[in-house]
Amino acid sequence: MSPSVSTTPLTLASGGFGPLETAGPVLVWTVVLTFVFLECALIIGLFLPGDSMLITAGVVLASQVGEGQVWALSIGTMIAAIAGNQVGYVFGQRAGHHLVARKNGKYINTRNLERVSDMLHKHGFLAVLVARWIPWVRTLCPLVAGAAGMDHRKYTIASSVGAVIWAPVILLASYYAGSFLENMSWLMPAVIGTLVVGLVLGTVLGVRQYRVEMARPAEDFDLDVAEAATVPLPRLPRA
């Protein structure tokens, strides 16, 4: 008698994604933690599909593992985000008030750096929390905070709180949504297949865009000048 073949939604959806099916949760853990860390620590994170990666991971895990492992991964994503934030802050701190942008860059440009600097200058703690939910700001914020000399303790608290309410929330919400879709055997394979294909294409295009961006001419960005521009001039006394 021939052995039975597994027909789980992941098996049906993955099709040509054999490595995803066989590696299972180990691959998901590796991809999730790597993407989260890079998005919070390095410039290349600007070009990675972080939010869609968390959604994809949550739905895929809903067809593979139990609730306990997803909660464990949620804690892992929180730690990866906090660690990434600290690395980004240190890089910015070492760069001083002079950051390097890319002339006519799509993301790494002086306009975006100025916008993040303005947010931090005006809102401080709150800006770090809000930045967590804006993809490109999420990556630039630690770098600019470090370069601007934002109080490290204040930054660490804000970024850590933000880490708790970002990656774990998206991952868990996606997992429970995926658990609901598990009851629809006709829909789950299509959803997983679409998410996986979108994630792979998004990553490939993102890496390609990163290489194009980094090939552009460098452009200096002075935080001192940017911060001075946000300070209103004092009113002169009336004659």
Ordered per-residue pLDDT tens for the chain, 239 residues: 444 444 443 443 334 334 444 456 788 888 899 999 999 999 999 899 989 999 999 988 888 777 888 999 999 999 999 999 999 999 999 887 788 889 888 888 899 999 998 999 888 899 998 888 888 888 999 999 999 889 999 999 999 999 998 989 999 999 998 888 877 777 888 888 899 899 999 999 999 999 999 999 998 888 765 555 554 434 434 44
Alpha-carbon span 25 to 22, nearest angstrom: 9
* CB of 54 closer than 8 Å to CB of 195: no
**3-state class of 222 per DSSP?**
strand
Q: Are 23 and 60 in contact (CB under 8 A)?
A: no
Q: What are phi and psi of 185, to 5 degrees?
A: -60, -25
CA-nearest of 156, 10, 166 to 74 is 166
Burial class, 16, CB count within 10 angstroms (exposed 0-12 / middle 13-18 / buried 19+): exposed
CB neighbourhood size of 209 (10 A): 14
**Stated pTM of the model:** 0.81
Q: Are 132 and 140 in contact (CB under 8 A)?
A: no
